[in-house]
Structure 1
Amino acid sequence: MRKSWRYAAIAAVAAASLALSACGDQKESGGAEKPTTTAPSGGTAQSSTPPASSAATPNAEALVKANCISCHGDTLDGKGSEKKNLTKVGSRLSKEQIVTQITNGGGGMGAFKDKLKADEIEAIAVWLAAKK
């Protein structure tokens, strides 16, 4: 009897850990990568990151992968939920509506205003609004 109680307790803790980790995998900074340098045969180091002008614009696809796929799925199909399906979200919501949804959450979605910067939310909204 005592062993079955232990197994049940271990299973409950494992299930709770999996559930919490699936929904809590949202990075605050958007998961920016550190620049790396390589020295080509010419002897001068070159950065593998894009120039500063394009670095100022957040990479929406990378932000979505870092913050959204745990609930919306790897392909943004909503994991079987039509409400969470983002594959054609631009045909349902405007960019402004998407910004509001990401910022404030609602309808089962958590708010990201404290997890993402305004320009990151904007970049994600532009990217998602194009999905029609």
Structure 2
Amino acid sequence: MTQSLYDQDFYAWTQEQANYLRAGKFELLDRENLGEEIESLGKQQRQELRHRLGILLGHLLKWHYQPSARSKNWKYTIREQRREIERHLRDNPSLKPYLSEAIALGYEDGLDLIGQETPLDPETLPQACLFAEEQIFTQALNW
């Protein structure tokens, strides 16, 4: 059994598929693998949103529960993640209906971050996101 270019050299396969598309040679496209790869790209956008929300929510939890340990690093991580999430949603507006689910999943990751980076026990914290959307994305961090 011979391996397809997709299995042998993924990069070469991507270049070949792009050339076929540009040339209008649709009959030569590897439709099955191309479809899977396009779906995978969409899933990556959802994962990116969840990942950034996990970092943001973890730092908001640290900020909320450890006021005496607040640092410049935490503040700038919160600012960076807010900005990157805003950009990500602007670039991918169809993710907005997924936002509440992404917040819930990101919050779980934020609890894990608390467990890894602080002496706090995430099991003792609320297991559902305690922040309203406005707090997550716009609330000022007062020193």
User: Do the two structures share a fold, i.e. TM-score over 0.5?
Assistant: no
Place the TM-score, normalised by the shorter chain, in its bin.
0.3 to 0.5
The TM-score normalised by the length of structure 1 is: 0.34
For normalisation by structure 2, the TM-score amounts to: 0.32
- If you compute each CA radius of gyration, which structure gives the higher value, 1 or 2? 2
